[in-house]
Amino acid sequence: MKSIRLLGYQVDIRVKKVKKRPAPPPTSGQPVAGSIKLHFGPGPNWIKPDSSWLSVDVEPDWGDIVVNFQEFEFLPLEDNSCQCVYGSHVFEHISLFKTPLVFKEIYRVLEPGGIFRMVAPDAEKSVKEYVSRNEDFPLFKRRKERLKTMYGIDYTLFECMRDDFISRSGQPELLGKNALAHQNAWDFETLCRDLVRAGFNRDNIRKMGFRQSSTKQFDFEGTYPSEANEDYRSLYVEVSK
């Protein structure tokens, strides 16, 4: 506490130390020793194929790199240091205000020729099932059952479709009572636009299928319980830097 006189008045001033903002990531362009492989949001069932894989997750028990994506700034990795990046049904859980930055950071840390594979809900498929009034679409039936069990809510068909775009979090203990799960959505064209804005070349973006890949690095897909296995409602995309 410090006292000074100002315009004839005695004024007390309290000086508060502000926590220093972390330094930005290195931008030397030199890869770390041994290329890294990243898996975003792997969940509890994934087993690392080898020690070069690092997991990125909001859940401390599942992430080598623990990230709160609602406050995301950068990945703590060197430029061009990652051989490949994988994420299944995770990027739609990141705010649409933050996903552009996440995609830019993935582009930055990928080495030239590195592959980013993204699996996400295919919003176009859900919209088509809603328009055709398909009450038996497996995803809609599951959402109806889940919301009835968790919240006592009888979902309409529209709400079943809307969950592709915005939905309640199933992790209130970790993320908060009123947190959102899905906060973004894509069809193939829109995802291509977002990846191009992040720095990727449109000619390098490919629509793929379940377990269809340009590299063997993602051979673990389909070998453990994951929403990536639900090809009837998923969008599979790969892009090289």
Domain boundaries, the chain: 25-122+187-240, 123-183
| 78, pLDDT greater than 80 | yes
**Distance (Å, rounded) from C-alpha 105 to C-alpha 39?**
14
What pTM was computed for the model? 0.83
pLDDT beyond 70 at 4: no
**23 DSSP 8-state letter:** P
Q: From CA 226, how far away is CA 44, in angstroms rounded? A: 10
Residue 19 scores a pLDDT above 50: no
Whether residue 7 is predicted with pLDDT greater than 80 in this model: the reply is no
The pairing of strands 2-6 and 9-13 is antiparallel
DSSP 198-236: HT--GGGEEEE-TT--SSGGGTTTTSSS-GGG-GGGEEE
pLDDT band at 27 (very low <50, low <70, confident <90, very high): very low
pLDDT tens, position by position, 173-215: 655 567 788 999 999 999 999 999 999 999 999 999 999 999 9
The answer to whether 200 touches 237, Cβ cutoff 8 Å, is: no
**What integer pLDDT is reported at residue 171 of this predicted model?**
60
With beta carbons less than 8 A apart as the criterion, state whether 131 and 102 touch: no
Phi, psi of 180 (to 5 degrees): -100, 150
Output the six-digit token pair for 132.
């055709």
Look at residues 239, 200, 197 and name the one whose alpha carbon lies nearest to residue 96.
197
The DSSP secondary-structure symbol of 60 reads: T
Q: Which two tokens stand for residue 3?
A: 């006292």
| 36-72 pLDDT tens trace | 999 999 999 999 999 999 999 988 889 999 998 888 9
Q: Which of 175, 241, 183 is nearest to 214 (CA)?
A: 241
Strand partners, 84: 37, 115
Q: What pLDDT score was predicted for residue 179?
A: 77
pLDDT at 176: 59
State the Cα–Cα distance between residues 236 and 178, nearest whole angstrom: 30
- What is the rounded distance in angstroms from the CA atom of residue 144 to the CA atom of residue 135? 10
The pLDDT, as a whole number, for residue 123 is 96
Buried b (16+ CB within 10 A) or exposed e, 87-96: bbbbbbbbee
Q: 16 pLDDT exceeds 60?
A: no
Per-residue model confidence (pLDDT) at position 8: 52
Q: Over the stretch 88-139, which tens digit does the pLDDT of each residue have?
A: 999 999 999 999 999 999 999 999 999 999 999 999 999 999 999 999 999 9
Residue 33 pLDDT > 50: no
- DSSP annotation of 137 reads -
- Which CATH superfamily hosts domain 25-122+187-240? Vaccinia Virus protein VP39 (3.40.50.150)
Is the pLDDT higher at 201 or at 29?
A: 201
Which sign, positive or negative, has the C-alpha torsion 134, 136, 138, 144?
positive
